[in-house]
Structure 1
Amino acid sequence: MTGPYNAIRLINAFNGIRRIVPISNTVSGNKPDRKPTHFVPYATAQLSVKMRPKLMWLALACVLAVKYVDAAGCQKQSNKDIHGGQAIRDVSGRRESDCCQLCRETSGCKAYAWNSYQGGTCWLKSASGPIVDAAGTSIGILDGSGGNPGGSGVGQLGICYSPFHHPNYGSAATIRSVLTEDIKKIKSLGFNSIRTYYAEYFGQSIADILNEQGGVTAALGIYMYPDHADWIDAQINTAAAAAKRYPGLIKAIYVGNENIPPVGGFSVDSLIGYINKMKQKLSQQGVSVPVGTVQRYTEWVSGREDVKRLVNACDVIGANLYPFFNAGTNPADPVPVFDSQLQSVKNKFPGKRIEITETGWPSGGSTCNGSSQPRSVDQIRSYFQKMRDWSRSHSEKVYYFQDFNKVTNPGNDCENYFGIMDAYGNKKFDI
């Protein structure tokens, strides 16, 4: 029941008339197809001139006292805060409209508070009271205050994003619509963070699309083009401009992905040079965003001296961890291998901020770089759910690989089957 409905009902009650007459929603004599949302208080005109202002003020007070329930299912109140329970986590760079969904996806969360700190911060709470006055702060309480049962959704997982799957990808004329369609699809699954491999596509900044859609932050990638230093510089400039234009939207910038020897063609010293250039551009813009690079688990734990120098140049490092490619992985319980890989990286570089920038499991394909692990929809569902649950109980950020199958005709290469959706955006399993 809405606030205006209650206000009008109060006015009519004072006038002795208990009915509210809706404006008709009928078309050609048919019955209304939805609940009327506008009401005509016929009796209001009968109030005395002396009484009408007083009653109108009373009605307005009733409207303002209503606890509105938003689309995500939270009762919202303005200029209030919650001084009870424990602070489960805080997520900065968010709009208030993001907070309810974050709470719903977080185990134990019953309510949130939001204020403008650090570009907008959702403070997730384990209790829904007591509620106190607090100017500039808004709260939301999960409908029923039941929190998240921990059995569905995406948890704290981010998702790796690339538009190359899309049938309409391939030109500047279509890129904005492709990116917009994809981000809307990703949001509809419940994801609120993505990792990209490029900062722009055909000159279109992905950050522009994320800002327009709202509710999704990004770890931006800088793609390393062999023999095209000017293209790399364009990516760096776009990323720096996005960090300046949209405070809180860009959570990290990763220069390069699996591109140092023996699998990549860029020397470590060359990569360090581009990392420093990215930092310099951010400094010139007057903004601070962590900068690093993404490499395979194998390179991070190699003990190579050049890799140590690379780590020292980074604010954050991204590790791609794949139990799928480990011959000793038990497919029914792959998490111990994942944990072991992550711990090995942490042991090599104690105190360094580490994010898991890729992990996943394919649903098909017969050629898999020597891996003999099973590949099926049931297997990818199981691994996704295990990573989702892992993300809820650990502080390290995880970006699941990936959103869509790489191509519309994946063939036999299992690399094309890692998507939780096919190339057309159809879910392989319920999220």
Structure 2
Amino acid sequence: MFESLAEKLEGVFKRLKGRGRLDEENVQEALKEIRMALLEADVNFKVVKDFIEDVRVRAIGQDVLESITPGQQIVKIVYDRLVELLGGTSSQLKFGNRFPAPIMLVGLQGCGKTTTSVKLARVLAKSGKRVGLVSADVYRPAAMEQLRVMGEKIGAPVIAADSKQNPVKICVDAVEESKRKGYEVLILDTAGRLHIDAEMMEELKQIKSAVNPSEILFVADAMTGQDAVNVAAKFNEMLGIDGVIMTKMDGDARGGAALSLKAVIGKPLKYVGVGEKIDAMEVFHPERMASRILGMGDILSLVEKAQTVVDEKKARELEQRIRKNEFTLGDFREQLLQIKKMGSLQDIMGMIPGFSKIKSLKQAAPDERELVKIVAIIDSMTIKERNNYLLIDGRRRKRIALGSGTSVQDVNQLLKNYAEIKKMMKRFTSKGGLKALRRGNFRF
């Protein structure tokens, strides 16, 4: 999402670091470019104005201009200010001492409330909470059925409701049902409209009054830009919200809404949707997002993603096979599938520090369809062929290509790449490999 902004800021900081010394004129010139970059990213005008002024005051000081590395000092100032702009620290949900703790999701129609309800239920269930779901949307056809089907996919109980009932009664009855069944959290998927209207707000106010939710979360569509911020502000003014969940953060929106929310409405961004799959929701970490915007990567999020898909026992077994030079095509396939589970390859690479600064790597970013092709080729092999690729002669290559819907050239390329990987692993695990790595002179 922030790729364009990150590239522009990277260019500004590269020029700053290229200067041995800085003066006020250099700083003002850089701030003008940063201002334009933020405005082009659709950040709220007043937010940009305050941001630039704050950075200017901090940057034009003796400690910065007379330091040995003034360019890096300014990058640090911009980073700190971005973290503040994004909310400072991650904001956790507040459940209080109530059982169940009702969490009310609100927003306009089409912002993704129902999908977000299920994603949030999955996140909370993984943290050990017993979570129930209920749909109070009696207006949108099949809204209740959609929640039921999606809830089944993650094994979350969805409390049955009648579309002919009053939405307030549905929510009140669901709270009582949750008490009986011992749910710790109840997520209320409320109805949306194409735009804010008095009837919609009155219904939401009545639900709020009847169930006294622990949290009211506004679901915002990142693709709508500043409109999302304006609508969130209106909901906060009329209903009072506790935070925001932003959907479609994996899209090509410019990112201005995420950068403007906290400053405009004073409420934190708590979760972000980073894909269409049910597991594609993350806690929002301001410091990690600021780091990615400035091209510094996000190792913590990368590690967390890896931990969710990696089986520790299998990882140890794989390590032993690599040490014994027994890494097979079957192992290669398994690793590719685990990487795929972590999400978009482009997103994963964006978490690697320095990746955004290497143009050749960015241009060579892998096509995710290649992963599908590689897995299909390996799936078309026999177990013997996967365990010993040297068995795969010309006749077998033709059969594998035909079975996987690819070409012989594709099969040849996979086997060539796999052979190179095996060679690299053998060198790395050889007697002197680890010592060479520690000395910093290991060569692939």
TM over 0.5: no
> Hey, which of these two has a bigger chunk of helix by percent?
2
Which fold has the larger relative contact order, with Cα–Cα distance below 8 Å and residues 6 or more apart in sequence? 2
> Hey, which of these two has a bigger chunk of strand by percent?
1
The alignment's TM-score, normalised by the length of structure 2, stands at: 0.28
